[in-house]
Amino acid sequence: MDILTPKIADITVEGLSLSGDLTGEELGLADADVSIRGTVAIGLDLRAIERTLYVTGVVEGTAIHQCVRCLKDFDDPVAFSLRVAYERELKVTASASKRDDGRKKKATTPPEVEQDEQNDDLYYFTGDQLELAPMLREQLILASPMHPLCSEGCLGLCARCGKDLNEGPCHCVVDQTGSPFQVLRTMKEKLRESGNR
Ligand SMILES: [Zn+2]
Ligand SMILES: [Zn+2]
């Protein structure tokens, strides 16, 4: 069975376990999303409770990120658990939104809140099988750092010469010719020189 497209009919109350190693390509990850080194190990448990399919599982592997400071690629371990729910996509009728004109609003009518208290990410499916790749792709992107750093103390690149300062200091001496103090100093020296004459 294809781990990424289990049949709805196979997902029961007893649950269905899926596991496997998948490449970024198989997950539909583009280079712009997250680069995966090798494969990610995925273990999922799918369970049907009434009409909702619950997917729990773990994702483990190694992602390649580019450090925002020194711009070097570095390996970053990925390990997270996920918990999402799938519901069959229903044809949305236009009447639902049009009715919201305020006229029929009664103070005694509470909003129909019958949703689960669980904060599972909700996905939708159509047809007779689940498409897990887009969900896994999204979860992997969500799990990625917004500002990847190769290390907390990464020194980054010299703004002037571009040298990676993690490899040692560069030879850019703090140039003071442009600073106002240096300009003053130079002027004073010149005045002194002319005064001595
Ligand atoms: Zn870095
Ligand atoms: Zn420099």
pLDDT in tens, 17-72: 999 999 999 999 887 788 999 999 999 999 999 999 999 999 999 999 999 999 99
Does 127 lie in the same domain as 170? no
C-alpha gyration radius of the chain? 29
* Domain presence at residue 28: yes
Neighbours of ion ligand 2 (CB under 5 A): 158, 160-161, 163, 170, 172
- Joined together, the tokens standing for residue 192 give 């002194």
* Domain presence at residue 69: yes
What per-residue confidence (pLDDT) applies to 32? 72
**d(C-alpha 190, C-alpha 117), whole Å:** 78
Q: Count of domains in the chain?
A: 2
Helices (H) and strands (E) in the chain, counts: 3, 6
Neighbours of ion ligand 1 (CB under 5 A): 67, 69-70, 150, 154
Domain range for 22 is 8-93+117-142
Does 183 lie in the same domain as 122? no
**d(C-alpha 197, C-alpha 7), whole Å:** 97
Nearest partner of 154 among 94, 67, 73, 90, judged by Cα: 67
**d(C-alpha 7, C-alpha 10), whole Å:** 5
Does 39 lie in the same domain as 131? yes
Q: Separation of 175 CA from ligand 2 center, angstroms?
A: 11
Question: In which region does residue 102 sit, left (phi positive, over 0), alpha (psi from -120 to 50) or beta (all else)?
Answer: left
What per-residue confidence (pLDDT) applies to 105? 45
Does 89 lie in the same domain as 186? no
Does 84 lie in the same domain as 13? yes
* Domain presence at residue 153: no
- Ranges of residues in the chain with a pLDDT under 70 are 1, 92-119, 173-187, 195-197
What per-residue confidence (pLDDT) applies to 35? 92
What single DSSP character describes residue 166? G
What per-residue confidence (pLDDT) applies to 90? 83
- Backbone phi, then psi, for 138, in 5-degree steps? -65, -40
